[in-house]
């Protein structure tokens, strides 16, 4: 809450700015003006927020993947508040030596608007491909050559680790930004040109299956 004074119509009004979480205008009392400002219209400086994700949005991506690969997956999905380093995981158990799928788990910090849609989708696709490869072969493939081949086919990184910077870091922090060459959609950013060039050479966009470009 901030206080100051406003001179209006020959009178000095004591002014109070009150920050609230709903749309308000304010009100005037005797000798006082209260201005109510909705916090929802502000963003933290240097922190670009993206759309938030829930289970229904994750399910929609999985259904798209089912169609693309002509496969079926109706696995349980959970969102974890505790997970900070592991953005996603495919859990399974072994039954007579065969893979038996259990669930997908995604970190809440991945889905809370800190990351772009492209990044979130890449994590979902990555975990889906663990499910796909393991259930087709009946064994755990980890990040073997078959899994990496499927990643490249689906247009995502075949890396075993999540390489995007931690939450709430603005895309403006990156000097080299990578976009889809067809639809110009932002993919990710890098501070180093050699890392950016490596991604452009090795990968294609998952949105249009097109080459990547650096801007």
CATH number for position 109: 3.30.2010.10
Does residue 125 sit in the same domain as residue 94?
yes
| Containing structural domain, residue 90 | 48-169
pLDDT-derived band of residue 208, with 50, 70 and 90 as boundaries? confident
Domain count, the chain: 3
Does residue 67 sit in the same domain as residue 165?
yes
Q: Specify which residues 190 forms β-bridges with.
A: 176
Does residue 187 sit in the same domain as residue 212?
yes
Ranges of beta strands (E only) in 21-168 are 26-29, 32-38, 76-80, 88-95, 98-107
157 and 116 Cβ atoms separated by less than 8 Å? no
Residue 192 confidence (pLDDT) above 60: yes
Residue whose C-alpha is closest to residue 16's, from 6, 186, 7, 24 = 6
Does residue 150 sit in the same domain as residue 79?
yes
Distance CA 93, CA 130 (A): 13
Does residue 53 sit in the same domain as residue 128?
yes
- pTM of the predicted protein model: 0.58
Compare 169 and 67 and report the one with higher pLDDT. Answer: 67
Does residue 199 sit in the same domain as residue 164?
no
Residue 165 confidence (pLDDT) above 60: no
* pLDDT, tens digit (0-9, with 9 covering 90-100), for 128-157: 999 999 999 999 999 999 999 999 999 888
Backbone angles phi, psi at 140, to 5 degrees: -75, 125
Does residue 135 sit in the same domain as residue 207?
no
Does residue 96 sit in the same domain as residue 149?
yes
Average pLDDT over residues 96-116: 91
């Amino acid at each position: 809450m901030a206080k100051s004074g406003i001179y209006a119509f020959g009178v000095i009004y004591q002014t109070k700015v009150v920050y609230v979480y709903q749309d308000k205008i304010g009100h005037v009392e005797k000798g006082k003006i209260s201005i109510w400002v909705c916090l929802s219209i502000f963003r933290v400086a240097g922190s670009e927020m993206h759309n938030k994700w829930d289970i229904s949005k994750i399910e929609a991506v999985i259904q798209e993947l089912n169609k693309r690969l002509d496969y079926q997956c109706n696995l349980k999905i959970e969102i974890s508040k505790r997970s900070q380093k592991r953005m996603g995981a495919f859990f399974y158990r072994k039954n007579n030596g065969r893979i038996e799928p259990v669930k997908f788990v995604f970190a809440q910090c991945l889905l809370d608007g800190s990351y772009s849609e492209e990044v979130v989708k890449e994590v979902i696709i990555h975990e889906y491909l663990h499910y796909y490869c393991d259930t087709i072969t009946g064994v755990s493939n980890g990040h073997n050559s078959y899994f990496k081949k499927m990643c490249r086919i689906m247009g995502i990184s075949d890396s075993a680790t999540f390489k995007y910077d931690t939450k709430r870091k603005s895309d403006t922090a990156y000097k080299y930004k990578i976009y889809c060459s067809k639809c110009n959609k932002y993919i990710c950013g890098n501070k180093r040109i050699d890392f950016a060039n490596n991604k452009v050479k090795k990968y294609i966009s998952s949105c249009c299956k097109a080459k990547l470009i650096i801007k």
